[in-house]
Amino acid sequence: MLNALLFDLDGTLTDTDQLHLLALQQLLLEEDDRVFTADEFEAHVSGQANANMCRYLFPHRSVAEHEAFADRKEVRFRQLSPQLTPMPGLVRLLDFAREQGIGMCVVTNAPRANAEHMLQVLGLRERFETVLVAEELPRAKPDPLPYLTGLERLNARADSSLAFEDSIPGLTAAVKAGIFTVGLATSQSRETLLAAGAHLVIEDFNDPLLWQQIERMLGARP
């Protein structure tokens, strides 16, 4: 059966990692004269909640200082992203899900302001009744709670759902929630995503392998 689609946001609905990296690079250089590399971003920041990011970047700073830096970073990100493009095939999938009566929600570690900004810029805000953000839940990805909450909101079961993720923390969360998880090779390699537990890896939402999986799950409907 297929009754629900749960989407990460950054790197999944739209490719934003380079903008997040640039925002961090600019701020760290301006404020600390610190050079921040793409490799460091991929290893320690991509897909993480801001609290984890700041603990890595500034282990000796206070929580208040972490929150202030995270706010500055997200403001910079929004300034750098006045225009965003949906991942190829995404609108096709959303249209199909709506026609089939399949529930959809966003599950993201991004703060609420970023999530609303990105969905609005993408023209997708009205597509999702539910947008779950980590800062409003007790635990963020890689904990499965965000995805378990998404299933609850959609009144769906894990074995009748698909999750879409591009990062290791997000992938870990969705897999732990028991959902068939599709990795998008935007921020990580196919091999890395498979090693982390992805059930399927695609380049974008037009991938025939994704549509074969959807047809298999739809064919199992009673």
Catalytic positions, written as ranges: 8, 10
Joined together, the tokens standing for residue 206 give 């037009």
Displacement of CA 106 from its chain's centroid (Å): 8
Joined together, the tokens standing for residue 196 give 């982390």
Pure H helices in 84-207: 90-100, 112-122, 145-154, 168-176, 190-195
Cα–Cα distance measured from residue 167 to residue 148, given in angstroms and rounded to the nearest whole number = 18
Residue type for 38, please? A
Nearest alpha carbon to residue 7 among 155, 137, 168, 128: 128
Pure H helices in 9-135: 17-32, 38-44, 50-57, 63-80, 90-100, 112-122
Q: Crossing angle, helix 63-80 and helix 112-122, to 10 degrees? A: 10
